[in-house]
């Protein structure tokens, strides 16, 4: 037996979905505007997770042109059937004229390669897929109700999928409109069949404080579905905003090889007041069945801080549990870029990257020269060592990113015979300088972000000189409570020519990410 701390995936790993194949578990999460998209994680015991690939990992697989922050890939579902892995997902926010909506991808190996998208004629978001034991395949999802009884009422629809054409076929059935009258934004509907009964589970009330998981059952897959009088079967809203974990929901169930049941779900850890800079994280909860219904965290009734997994043989380990620190090499699967793959904006070089400056800035809905990592810990340091010869108007730095509208960057620019470092808070599309300092030219730069809870320090050094704090900011000014959207914070290095053509390359010699608590 082993004990794992929650969350099992710290940092912005929202909307988890899970499946089991033999003794192996596979999990995917949302990635929004970041690429590569939809990380695929593998575990043998639900305790230790290793990232083995991504579903969206090659140029041209999906078109991200014009997708603003908190758009992109929403709420994937992963399933395995007849030797094939299936992921169904939604691409949100595409400008008019570009492909978008709900799609399927398949693979024989969950590490990839995955197929190109197969687009589905289906409205709404958060699609899921269910393989019945009679061989029929059912796609289901959620959308705004066509004939709503209240504002933002949603409904769950289900329709059959042709296994040969991968197209929806036959009539559509609306099977659920919510467990609680007045609840909004049903999300993450999933179908299961347990002991001959069909179960439809979905989260309601929006992916924030009032998030709640509900369930219904039916004798046939197309309904009618009847909810348990115990709904919601999991929520933290009754615990209040002072509870350290809020917004529990968006769950997916899996049966282990030993017959035990588990759920992965999202929730948020608050700090610095009612804020969650790390975003929506993935948690693990034990489940038992009583009177024909699942019971989450039996005897506890909330997401536990620690979970005992009887069939796990060792302690949690690996970077996703926060135990790895130090240099993050270019082949680390945690690297991301915005609206493009890291390999499309930079080239691996030694321990780091060669990052050509681009005209796009961090404020543009475009492909900027940016390489980033999720902030996974309340206390952590990101340090980038960068060598670059900047021309007038060019800029290199590190950034704490929420979106193009809201971020804090440490920007280094030419200034006479030297350089000048400024900490700039972009808030609701307006820039404000929080601090500045002169920096000597001619030596590699050491650019750092120090996160200590809600407090952020942005630090610069040149060569062997003593690093100086250029400015401070608050992570709580950047989280989704303060800014909107759906994302946790990213730390990264960037370089821009601010709209001008350029051939300058920033040599990112090394980047380290170190949890400090």
Overall average pLDDT of the 204-230 stretch: 96
Which pairs count as long-range contacts for 143-152, CB under 8 Å and 24+ apart, including other chains?
Answer: 145/177, 146/174, 149/177, 149/181, 150/181, 150/182, 150/184, 151/184, 152/184, 152/185
Q: What's the pLDDT band for 320 if we cut at 50, 70, 90?
A: low
Q: What pLDDT shows up at residue 16?
A: 98
Q: Are 78 and 19 in contact (CB under 8 A)?
A: yes
Q: Is the pLDDT of residue 318 over 60?
A: no
What does the pLDDT look like over 145-180, one tens digit per residue?
999 999 999 999 999 999 999 999 999 999 999 899
Q: What pLDDT shows up at residue 264?
A: 98
Q: What pLDDT shows up at residue 274?
A: 98
Overall average pLDDT of the 282-294 stretch: 98
Q: Are 9 and 18 in contact (CB under 8 A)?
A: no
Question: Average per-residue pLDDT in the chain?
Answer: 95
Q: What pLDDT shows up at residue 321?
A: 57
Query: CA-to-CA distance for 176 and 225, rounded, in angstroms?
Result: 7
Tell me the pTM: 0.96
**Taking Cα atoms as reference points, which of 114, 106, 107, 158 lies closest to residue 132?**
158
What does the pLDDT look like over 330-375, one tens digit per residue?
999 999 999 999 999 999 999 999 999 999 999 999 999 999 999 9
Which domains are present in the chain? 16-239+247-254 (2.115.10.20), 326-515 (2.60.120.200)
Distances in Å between the alpha carbon of 253 and those of 27, 277, 393?
11, 27, 53
Q: How many CB atoms lie within 10 A of CB 182?
A: 12
**Which residues, including other chains, have CB under 8 Å from residue 291's CB and lie 6 or more apart?**
none
What is the set of active-site residues? 15, 187
What does the pLDDT look like over 49-85, one tens digit per residue?
999 999 999 999 999 999 999 999 999 999 999 999 9
Q: What pLDDT shows up at residue 94?
A: 74
Q: What's the pLDDT band for 324 if we cut at 50, 70, 90?
A: low
Overall average pLDDT of the 224-231 stretch: 96
User: Residue 239, SS3?
Assistant: helix
Q: What pLDDT shows up at residue 98?
A: 63
What does the pLDDT look like over 445-471, one tens digit per residue?
999 999 999 999 999 999 988 999 999
């Amino acid at each position: 037996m082993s004990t794992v701390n929650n969350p099992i995936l710290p940092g912005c790993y929202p909307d988890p979905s899970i499946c089991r194949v033999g003794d192996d578990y596979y999990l995917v999460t949302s990635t929004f505007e970041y690429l590569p998209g939809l990380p695929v994680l593998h575990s043998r015991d639900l305790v230790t997770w290793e990232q083995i690939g991504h579903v969206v990992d090659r140029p041209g697989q999906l078109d991200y042109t014009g997708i603003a922050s908190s758009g992109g890939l929403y709420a994937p579902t992963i399933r395995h059937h007849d030797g094939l892995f299936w992921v169904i997902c939604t691409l949100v926010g595409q400008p008019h004229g570009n492909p978008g909506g709900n799609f399927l991808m398949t693979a024989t190996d969950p590490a990839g390669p995955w197929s190109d998208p197969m687009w589905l004629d289906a409205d709404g978001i958060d699609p899921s897929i269910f393989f019945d034991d009679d061989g029929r395949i059912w796609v289901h999802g959620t959308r705004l109700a066509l004939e709503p009884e209240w504002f933002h009422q949603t409904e769950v629809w289900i329709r059959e999928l042709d296994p040969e054409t991968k197209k929806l076929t036959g009539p559509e059935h609306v099977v659920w409109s919510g467990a609680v009258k007045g609840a909004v934004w049903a999300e993450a509907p999933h179908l299961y069949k347990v002991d001959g009964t069909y179960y439809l589970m979905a989260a309601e009330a929006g992916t924030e404080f009032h998030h709640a998981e509900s369930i219904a059952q039916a004798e046939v897959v197309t309904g009618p579905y009847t909810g348990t009088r115990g709904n919601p079967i999991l929520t933290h809203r009754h615990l209040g905003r002072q509870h350290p974990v809020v917004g529990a929901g968006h769950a997916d169930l899996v049966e282990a090889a030993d017959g035990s049941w588990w759920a992965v779900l999202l929730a948020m850890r608050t700090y610095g007041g009612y804020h969650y800079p790390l975003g929506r994280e993935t948690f693990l909860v034990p489940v038992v069945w009583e009177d024909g219904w699942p019971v989450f965290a039996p005897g506890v009734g909330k997401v536990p801080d620690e979970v005992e997994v009887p069939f796990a043989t060792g302690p949690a380990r690996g970077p996703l549990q926060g135990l790895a620190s130090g240099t993050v090499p270019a082949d680390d699967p945690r690297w991301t870029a915005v609206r493009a793959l890291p390999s499309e904006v930079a080239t691996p070089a030694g321990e780091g990257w060669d990052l050509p400056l681009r005209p796009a800035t961090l404020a543009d809905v475009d492909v900027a020269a940016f390489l980033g990592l999720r902030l996974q810990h309340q206390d952590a340091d990101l340090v980038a060592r960068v060598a670059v010869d900047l021309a007038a108007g060019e800029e290199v730095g590190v950034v704490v990113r929420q979106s193009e509208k809201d971020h804090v960057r440490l920007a280094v620019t030419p200034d006479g015979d030297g350089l000048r470092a400024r900490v700039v808070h972009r808030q609701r599309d307006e820039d404000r300088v929080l601090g500045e300092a002169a920096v000597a030219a001619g030596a590699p730069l050491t650019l750092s972000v120090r996160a200590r809870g809600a407090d952020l320090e942005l630090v610069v050094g040149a060569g062997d000189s003593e690093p100086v704090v250029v400015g401070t900011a608050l992570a709580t000014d950047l989280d989704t409570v303060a800014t909107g959207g759906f994302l946790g914070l990213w730390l990264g290095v960037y370089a821009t020519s601010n709209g001008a053509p350029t051939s300058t390359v920033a040599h990112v010699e090394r980047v380290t990410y170190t949890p400090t608590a």
